[in-house]
Protein backbone atom coordinates (compact mmCIF):
# COMPACT_ATOMS: atom_id res chain seq x y z
CA UNK A 1 0.00 0.00 0.00
CA UNK A 2 1.27 3.46 -0.85
CA UNK A 3 1.92 6.10 1.80
CA UNK A 4 -0.35 9.09 2.38
CA UNK A 5 2.04 11.49 0.65
CA UNK A 6 2.29 9.27 -2.45
CA UNK A 7 -1.49 9.00 -2.64
CA UNK A 8 -1.86 12.77 -2.28
CA UNK A 9 0.77 13.32 -4.97
CA UNK A 10 -1.04 10.92 -7.28
CA UNK A 11 -4.32 12.77 -6.67
CA UNK A 12 -2.72 16.15 -7.33
CA UNK A 13 -0.46 15.23 -10.25
CA UNK A 14 -2.73 12.96 -12.25
CA UNK A 15 -6.25 13.92 -11.17
CA UNK A 16 -5.92 17.42 -9.69
CA UNK A 17 -7.23 19.33 -12.69
CA UNK A 18 -9.97 16.79 -13.43
CA UNK A 19 -11.09 16.94 -9.80
CA UNK A 20 -11.13 20.75 -9.93
CA UNK A 21 -13.34 20.76 -13.04
CA UNK A 22 -15.63 18.08 -11.62
CA UNK A 23 -16.12 20.19 -8.48
CA UNK A 24 -16.43 23.39 -10.49
CA UNK A 25 -19.23 21.96 -12.64
CA UNK A 26 -21.11 21.03 -9.46
CA UNK A 27 -20.62 24.22 -7.43
CA UNK A 28 -20.30 26.65 -10.40
CA UNK A 29 -18.36 29.32 -8.47
CA UNK A 30 -14.57 29.25 -8.79
CA UNK A 31 -14.05 30.33 -5.16
CA UNK A 32 -16.27 27.52 -3.87
CA UNK A 33 -14.48 25.06 -6.16
CA UNK A 34 -11.13 26.17 -4.76
CA UNK A 35 -12.32 25.63 -1.17
CA UNK A 36 -13.84 22.24 -1.99
CA UNK A 37 -10.67 21.14 -3.81
CA UNK A 38 -8.62 22.15 -0.78
CA UNK A 39 -10.88 20.09 1.51
CA UNK A 40 -10.72 17.19 -0.96
CA UNK A 41 -6.92 17.06 -0.83
CA UNK A 42 -6.92 17.38 2.94
CA UNK A 43 -9.39 14.48 3.24
CA UNK A 44 -7.37 12.38 0.78
CA UNK A 45 -4.23 12.98 2.82
CA UNK A 46 -5.75 12.39 6.26
CA UNK A 47 -7.80 9.35 5.22
CA UNK A 48 -5.17 7.74 2.97
CA UNK A 49 -3.94 5.58 5.85
CA UNK A 50 -7.40 4.07 6.28
CA UNK A 51 -7.90 3.42 2.53
CA UNK A 52 -8.32 -0.35 2.19
CA UNK A 53 -9.04 -0.72 -1.54
CA UNK A 54 -6.78 -1.68 -4.43
CA UNK A 55 -4.60 0.96 -6.08
CA UNK A 56 -6.84 0.70 -9.14
CA UNK A 57 -9.81 1.97 -7.13
CA UNK A 58 -7.98 5.11 -5.97
CA UNK A 59 -9.31 7.34 -8.80
CA UNK A 60 -12.91 6.41 -7.91
CA UNK A 61 -12.11 7.16 -4.28
CA UNK A 62 -10.70 10.60 -5.24
CA UNK A 63 -13.83 11.38 -7.23
CA UNK A 64 -16.03 10.17 -4.39
CA UNK A 65 -14.35 12.53 -1.91
CA UNK A 66 -14.44 15.42 -4.41
CA UNK A 67 -18.15 14.83 -5.09
CA UNK A 68 -18.93 14.73 -1.37
CA UNK A 69 -16.98 17.93 -0.74
CA UNK A 70 -18.72 19.70 -3.63
CA UNK A 71 -22.15 18.63 -2.36
CA UNK A 72 -21.14 19.67 1.16
CA UNK A 73 -20.25 23.12 -0.21
CA UNK A 74 -23.70 23.36 -1.81
CA UNK A 75 -25.38 22.19 1.42
CA UNK A 76 -23.81 25.13 3.24
CA UNK A 77 -25.63 27.43 0.82
CA UNK A 78 -29.14 26.10 1.50
CA UNK A 79 -31.40 27.16 4.34
CA UNK A 80 -32.76 24.84 7.00
CA UNK A 81 -35.22 22.26 5.56
CA UNK A 82 -34.15 23.12 1.99
CA UNK A 83 -32.47 20.60 -0.30
CA UNK A 84 -29.60 21.16 -2.72
CA UNK A 85 -32.09 20.66 -5.55
CA UNK A 86 -33.71 23.95 -4.48
CA UNK A 87 -30.52 25.74 -5.56
CA UNK A 88 -31.07 25.01 -9.26
CA UNK A 89 -32.38 28.52 -10.04
CA UNK A 90 -29.55 30.21 -8.15
CA UNK A 91 -26.91 28.00 -9.76
CA UNK A 92 -28.43 28.58 -13.19
CA UNK A 93 -28.14 32.36 -12.69
CA UNK A 94 -24.63 31.93 -11.39
CA UNK A 95 -23.62 30.13 -14.59
CA UNK A 96 -24.20 33.42 -16.42
CA UNK A 97 -22.08 35.46 -14.03
CA UNK A 98 -19.27 32.88 -13.88
CA UNK A 99 -19.12 32.39 -17.66
CA UNK A 100 -16.29 33.94 -19.60
CA UNK A 101 -17.26 36.94 -21.79
CA UNK A 102 -16.24 34.99 -24.90
CA UNK A 103 -18.08 31.80 -23.92
CA UNK A 104 -20.40 30.48 -26.61
CA UNK A 105 -24.14 30.88 -26.08
CA UNK A 106 -24.55 27.12 -26.57
CA UNK A 107 -22.09 26.29 -23.79
CA UNK A 108 -23.78 28.72 -21.38
CA UNK A 109 -27.26 27.36 -22.16
CA UNK A 110 -25.99 23.79 -21.92
CA UNK A 111 -24.58 24.44 -18.43
CA UNK A 112 -27.79 26.20 -17.37
CA UNK A 113 -29.77 23.19 -18.59
CA UNK A 114 -27.71 20.84 -16.40
CA UNK A 115 -28.57 22.97 -13.36
CA UNK A 116 -32.21 21.96 -13.75
CA UNK A 117 -31.33 18.32 -13.13
CA UNK A 118 -31.83 16.78 -9.69
CA UNK A 119 -28.45 16.48 -7.93
CA UNK A 120 -28.13 12.69 -8.33
CA UNK A 121 -28.79 12.98 -12.07
CA UNK A 122 -26.44 15.93 -12.38
CA UNK A 123 -23.55 14.07 -10.71
CA UNK A 124 -24.13 10.97 -12.88
CA UNK A 125 -24.43 13.07 -16.02
CA UNK A 126 -21.21 15.05 -15.41
CA UNK A 127 -19.17 11.95 -14.60
CA UNK A 128 -20.41 10.18 -17.73
CA UNK A 129 -20.54 13.09 -20.17
CA UNK A 130 -17.46 15.16 -19.25
CA UNK A 131 -15.19 12.68 -17.46
CA UNK A 132 -16.32 9.81 -19.70
CA UNK A 133 -16.16 7.33 -16.84
CA UNK A 134 -17.66 3.85 -17.26
CA UNK A 135 -20.87 3.14 -15.36
CA UNK A 136 -19.23 0.64 -12.99
CA UNK A 137 -16.79 3.35 -11.86
CA UNK A 138 -19.55 5.93 -11.50
CA UNK A 139 -21.42 3.36 -9.40
CA UNK A 140 -18.41 3.08 -7.10
CA UNK A 141 -18.20 6.87 -6.81
CA UNK A 142 -21.87 7.57 -6.17
CA UNK A 143 -22.88 4.35 -4.42
CA UNK A 144 -25.83 3.85 -6.82
CA UNK A 145 -26.48 0.83 -9.03
CA UNK A 146 -25.39 0.87 -12.66
CA UNK A 147 -29.02 0.43 -13.73
CA UNK A 148 -30.18 3.53 -11.88
CA UNK A 149 -27.21 5.51 -13.24
CA UNK A 150 -28.10 4.56 -16.83
CA UNK A 151 -31.66 5.70 -16.15
CA UNK A 152 -30.37 8.92 -14.58
CA UNK A 153 -28.21 9.63 -17.61
CA UNK A 154 -31.06 8.91 -20.01
CA UNK A 155 -33.43 11.31 -18.20
CA UNK A 156 -30.69 13.94 -17.89
CA UNK A 157 -30.07 13.90 -21.65
CA UNK A 158 -33.81 14.17 -22.29
CA UNK A 159 -34.16 17.19 -19.94
CA UNK A 160 -31.15 18.95 -21.45
CA UNK A 161 -32.33 18.37 -25.02
CA UNK A 162 -35.76 19.79 -24.21
CA UNK A 163 -34.24 22.87 -22.57
CA UNK A 164 -31.95 23.50 -25.55
CA UNK A 165 -34.79 23.04 -28.03
CA UNK A 166 -36.99 25.42 -26.00
CA UNK A 167 -34.17 27.98 -26.18
CA UNK A 168 -33.72 27.51 -29.93
CA UNK A 169 -30.29 25.93 -30.01
Partner 1 sequence: MINIDEMKRELPYKENPAYIRDLVGRCRQTALRTNAAAPARRAWIWAVAAAAAILIAVIGITLSAPRKTPIERFLASITDEEAAMITDYNLEDIPEYVNE
Quick note: the x/- pattern for partner 1 over 33-72, rule CB under 8 A, is -x--xx-xxx-xxx--------------------------
Q: Should residue 30 be labelled a site residue for partner 1 when binding is judged by CB under 8 A? A: yes
Q: Should residue 102 be labelled a site residue for partner 1 when binding is judged by CB under 8 A? A: yes
Q: Which stretch binds partner 1 (CB under 8 A): 19-27, 56-64, 79-87, 137-145?
A: 19-27
Is there a contact between 77 and 87 (Cβ–Cβ < 8 Å)? Answer: yes
Q: Should residue 1 be labelled a site residue for partner 1 when binding is judged by CB under 8 A? A: no
Q: Residue 135 and residue 90: Cα distance in Å, rounded?
A: 29
Nearest-5° angle of CA 152, CA 156, CA 162? 150
Quick note: the x/- pattern for partner 1 over 76-95, rule CB under 8 A, is -------------------x
Q: Should residue 16 be labelled a site residue for partner 1 when binding is judged by CB under 8 A? A: yes
Site for partner 1 in 123-162 (CB under 8 A): 129-130, 157, 160-161
Q: Give the binding site for partner 1 (CB under 8 A).
A: 4-5, 8-9, 12, 16-17, 20-21, 24-25, 30, 34, 37-38, 40-42, 44-46, 95, 98-100, 102-104, 106-108, 110-111, 129-130, 157, 160-161, 164-165, 169
Amino acid sequence: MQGATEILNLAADQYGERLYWHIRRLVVSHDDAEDALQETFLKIYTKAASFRGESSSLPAWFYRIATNEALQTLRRRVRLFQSIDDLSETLSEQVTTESAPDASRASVLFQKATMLLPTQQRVAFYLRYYDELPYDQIARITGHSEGSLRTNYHYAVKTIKKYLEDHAI
